[in-house]
Each structure stands twice: as C-alpha cells, then as structure tokens.
Amino acid sequence: MDLIRILDSAVVDRIAAGEVVERPASVVKELVENSLDAGASRVEVRIEAGGRALIEVIDDGHGMHEANATLAFTQHATSKIQDVDDLDSIGTLGFRGEALASIAAVGRVELLTATGDGPGIRARVAEGEGLRLENAAAPVGTRIAVRDLFYNTPARQKHLRTDRTESGRVAAAMEDFALLRPDVHFVLTDDGRERMAAAPVGSLVERVHQVLGGAVADNWLAVEDQGNHCEVVGGTTRPEENRATRSHVHLFVNGRAVADGRLVHAVTTAYDTTLPRGRYPLAALFIQLDPAQVDVNVHPRKAEVRFVEPGAIYGTLRRAVTQAVARQVAPPTRGYAPPLPMPSDSGTVNEMPIPAIRPSPSLPLGKWKSVHGDAPDRRPIPMDSERLHVRGSLQPLGQYANTYILAADEEGLLIIDQHVAHERVLFERVLAQRQAEGVRVQRLLVPEVLELTSAESAAAEQFSETLAAFGFEIEPFGGSDWSLRAVPEILRQKSGERLVRDLLASLSEGRGARAAEVLENDVAASIACHSAVRANQPLSFEVMSSLITELSSCETPMHCPHGRPVMLRMSLSQIEKDIGRH
C-alpha cells in the first residue's frame, strides 16, 4: 500500500489553479474583482489571442505596499477574512486569497503597484522562478499582466476553445461587471481593438444603453420589490425585446454575478404567455439579502450560490418581474372564437364560406412563387411513414384562429399548424440551395446597423464566414456596431437583426464546434423559423393551397426542423365512429 504523504506546494498550487482558473475569462473575473475591491473607479482590461497570450488588468485603486504585494502571491492570504465568523458576512467580491497564487501557478505574472506613499513595487513570478521584487515608478493603482496562460499545463490548453470564443467569454464577464457597477469606467481591448468603453453613468438604464444597446434600453422595465427574505431591484425588457438564449439574463446576489438556473427560470416564467416559446428576456436583476442567508463559498469560482430558503428568494424574484411586465403589457383578450367564420367579400381565407369537401385542382406553384419566392421541384410522394399521405387532392377548407389550416382529403380532416408547416418547407429549401448553387442573397439598399454587445461582436468576427455561407454579409462599422449588407432572399422584407443575434448566440454557445452537417441544420432551421408565416396571421386561400402543395413535396413533411408535429389527422372512419354513425 502507498504511504499517505503531504503534497508538494507546487502541486497544491497547480490543483488550486485548476479549481479557480478554468479559462482566460476566469482570470479576468478574479483580477477585476480584486480591482473593484481595491476601490477602483476605472478598470481597463486588455487581452491578446483570446487571453492565451496576454491578460492585462489595470486599475486606479489604492494599490499595495511591498509586504502586501509579497503576501498577495501566497496561497490563502487575504485581507478580507479574519476568522471563521467572517464567512457568514462576506461583503467583497474576492475573499479566498487564492487568485494570484493560482494564476501564477499556470501563467507568467507581473504585478506593478503603488499606493502613492513611497516607491512603487514590481513583482514577477513564474513556476520554478519564485517571486522577484524591485522598486519601480508607477501611478497609484495596480497593473497585473498574465502571459502565456497554461504554458506549463498543455492538457488545460487543449480544453480551450478558439481565440474568438474565449474573447467572447471575456466580453460576457465584462458585461456583468459593467452592469454591476455603473459608477465605474470599464474598458475592454481585444487584440488592439476596443470592445467596450463604458464611462461612468448615473443609472442602470444608461448603463444598459452602453452595454446592451439602445433598443434594449428603449424597452427597459424597472423592477423593484421587497419580500420577507430579500429585496429585488434592477430591470428587464418588454416581451417584444427578447433573445433566443438565456445568456442575457444577468443575475447578481449581494453584488456578485451568479449563474443559477432556478433564478433564471423564475425570471422567464414571470412572463407567462407574453413571451414566445423558446425566447428569453434581457435583464439585470440584483438580489439583496442577509449574507447569513446565502453561501457564496459553494463554487470554487464563486459562480454559484446556495440559499438557506431558496423558495422564498425564487418567489420574490418571480413576483417582482411579473409585476413589472404586468404594468406594461395589456391583458390578452380571452374569448371563444367561432370555429367557422362567416362569409364575406374581403377575400381572406378565415372569412370564406366553408365549401363542401370535394376534390378540385391544386393551384399552380406560381401563385406561391409570387408571395414566398421560387418553389422547389415537384417530386412524387412515396407512401411511407415519413411522407404526407394524401388520397386524391388535399384541399384547404379554411383557417381557424388565424393559426391552423383546416384541410381534407378522402381519408379525413387535417389540422395543419401554418407556422410549423412553412418552417419545414423553408428549411428544406435553404438546405437545397446551400447544397446546390448556394443560398440566394438579397442585398439591402440601406444596410442595417446592428448595435451588438461586446460578446456578440466577438462572435460576429468568429463566425462571419459561417453567416456569409447562408447569405448574411456583415462587416465592422466602428466599435461594437456592425453593418448588415445582405440577408438570405428567403427573409424578404423582414429585418435580419433579430435573426443575426439569435445565430450569434447559438454559435457562440458551442454549436459552432459541432459537426458541419449539424451546424448547417441549426442555421437553416433558424432562418426558416424567422422567415415562416406566424401564428395569428391571416392567409389567403391561394397561399394556403400553395403551402399544402409545397409541404407535400418535402422530404420530411410531418415534423418541423425542431421536431414539432406539423399536423393532426382525424380519419373519416374515426369521425363517424365518434359521432355515432357506426
């Protein structure tokens, strides 16, 4: 049996680094937290090669004397905890005293600091070289440069993503800090290009305008509520301003950014039916409670927290957001719509008289072409489980609730979800174009200027070629603004901004690293979803007929690209049985 032994201090430091320093964004987070704890009013972050080559954090905080500069690189040395009781009342961002020691175990670190009282101090440390100190001229504050991150741990380097992905994670961390402290000036420079420049402002909504964009600020709803266990303040967006992922729901507990799925769920469910399925608001919400009621020491990187009474916190947060949304959103009209509309001369299908069910020739595809672009080639429909089984001629009868197409063939009735059906048609059309001559492009007469966040801007650089392959031509326009010059023709007159944002969010969350075929399907599905007709949209009889014709030509007409069923069928025999004719 092997003897139990005390680990070497270098091994201990490397293990601790593995817990604290996961990627460049982890280093940025730890160092910026220290800057804010030091009373900084300006924090500048510079990165190169996604943070692998260089991470530099410069602040104008109170700086350190020589003794503190030495202790700062010692494991578990901290000025923020004196005894065990302090763990129950932590009021600072950093507190464990392991950040610099852990970072120095996996990178080459140089610190330059000054208090204004005596000479400045330069400290250099790297594995195997120890700590070297010398006097140096320096402004009041601290500058820490970390070079060659994970140079001595190749396995850790292999787990990093591309430079642009890592840059995006750093930008997301800086967004959190900027929203947390509107009174502090934050600057982020990435490979010499300024990604963020957020000067101090007097309110959260002004900071939202700087960080998340003017459209978000224009749709901002103030949130404020107080329960028995906590207080919630901040803001969220109106339902119409939403995103495809939850990454823009920024949550803070006692002044610390946290990742908590249950809290995000409280925010999203507060919108009830006012938020489209699969969409998420943008929010910055601050939960304040007794420090003794929350444990921030659960996660090595302090990203997760544990509440003494989680249900109470969840309930207060959900109520706060619900009230903010309810103040701005009129209650939906609830009532019973007649299943069969009365006839009229307006020509829209939902107002047509319902004819007898009898075969009639389908409308030519040219009718669809004039509204929705060229139709794919007609193909015979094999009678298998993945095909739309049609006996005779499938005819639309009408439209129910401006959402469902009622149709019939010799077998019975079909209820077709118009949005889902159109999604399937467009999804297969985009893929067919992509595999043939390429996705058809529509150049914009007046380019759209997209006001992207720092993280979105980093993703736009990384995935610009992928977007171009599907018809989106975007290029930098200054700062975090991008110019959208072309979109897929299939979008027609619809704005491409929301779709570009959704694609950037999906790609930056990891889908871009998946197999090429899966990636193409993801992008094509998103384009189809944004381009398809919507629920609650009246359709003419001609459009419904052409949609059914094109759906019949699809390879997989029974499900949308996301797996939802396109239609329900009620056979004639089942109808007669249920109504008592048998």
List, for residues 282-298, the tens digit of each pLDDT value: 999 999 999 888 876 65
* CATH code for residues 349-582: 3.30.1370.100
Give the pLDDT confidence score for residue 569 in this predicted structure.
Answer: 87
pLDDT at position 399: 92
Specify the range with the lowest mean pLDDT, choosing from 16-30, 121-135, 144-158, 473-487.
Answer: 16-30
* Token pair belonging to 138: 């320096």
| Residue position matching structure tokens 């995935």 | 463
What's the mean per-residue pLDDT of the chain?
80
Share of the chain above pLDDT 90, in %: 39
**What stretch of H or E contains 441?**
strand 441-451
Q: In terms of residues, how long is the chain? A: 582
pLDDT at 81 over 50: no
The answer to whether residue 346 scores a pLDDT higher than 70 is no
d(CA 3, CA 525): 58
β partners of residue 471: none
Instruction: Give bridge partners of residue 123 from the DSSP assignment.
Output: 111, 133
pLDDT of residue 184: 97
How confident is the model over 209-234, as pLDDT tens digits? 999 998 899 999 999 999 878 999 99
Sign of the Cα torsion 24, 28, 31, 34 reads negative
Q: Cβ(362)–Cβ(542) under 8 Å? A: no
Residue 9 pLDDT > 70: no
Q: What phi, psi does 73 have (nearest 5°)? A: -95, 10
Q: Please tell me the predicted confidence (pLDDT) of residue 352.
A: 35
Say if residue 374 is exposed, middle or buried (CB neighbours under 10 Å; 0-12, 13-18, 19+): middle
Q: What is the sign, positive or negative, of the torsion defined by CA atoms of 274, 280, 284, 290? A: positive
Residues whose CB is less than 8 angstroms from the CB of residue 380 and which lie 6 or more positions away in sequence, other chains included: none
With tokens 């077998």, the residue in question is 411
Contact 178, 198 (CB under 8 A): yes
Q: Is residue 358's pLDDT more than 80? A: no
- Please say if the pLDDT value at position 513 is more than 70: no
Is the pLDDT at 366 greater than 50? The verdict is no
Query: Which positions ≥6 away from 516 have C-beta within 8 Å?
Result: none
Please tell me the predicted confidence (pLDDT) of residue 91: 52
């900027």: which residue's tokens?
178
pLDDT of residue 40: 96
User: Which CATH fold would you assign to the domain 205-328?
Assistant: Ribosomal Protein S5; domain 2 (3.30.230)
pLDDT value, residue 469? 86
Q: How confident is the model at residue 20 (pLDDT cuts 50, 70, 90)?
A: low
* pLDDT at site 376: 33
Which pLDDT value is given to residue 8?
A: 58
For residue 191, CA distances in Å to 28, 50, 250, 444 come to 15, 8, 26, 31
Query: Nearest Cα to 82, choosing from 73, 69, 95, 71?
Result: 95
The domain spans of the chain are 9-200, 205-328, 349-582
**Among 264, 256, 265, 221, which Cα is nearest to 240's?**
221
pLDDT at 310 over 50: yes
Across the range 53-59, mean pLDDT stands at 97
Q: Is 434 exposed, middle or buried (0-12, 13-18, 19+ CB in 10 A)?
A: middle
What pLDDT score does 374 carry?
36
Residue 353 predicted with pLDDT over 80: no
- Rounded CA-CA distance 396/403 in Å is 13
For residue 214, the Cα-to-chain-centroid distance in whole angstroms is: 18
pLDDT over 80 (residue 511): no
Question: Token digits for 423?
Answer: 């999604």
Residue for token pair 């509440």: 307
Q: How many Å from the N-terminal Cα to the C-terminal Cα in the chain? A: 80
Question: For residue 581, what pLDDT band results from cuts at 50, 70 and 90?
Answer: confident
CA separation, residue 528 to residues 415, 424, 488, 492, 561 (Å): 21, 7, 10, 12, 9
Sheet holding 481-488, edge to edge: 441-451, 481-488, 473-478
Alpha-carbon distance 185 to 187, whole Å? 7
Specify the CATH number for 9-200; select among 3.30.565.10, 3.90.400.10, 3.40.1190.20, 3.40.50.10860. Answer: 3.30.565.10
Six-digit token pair at 538?
A: 């009246």
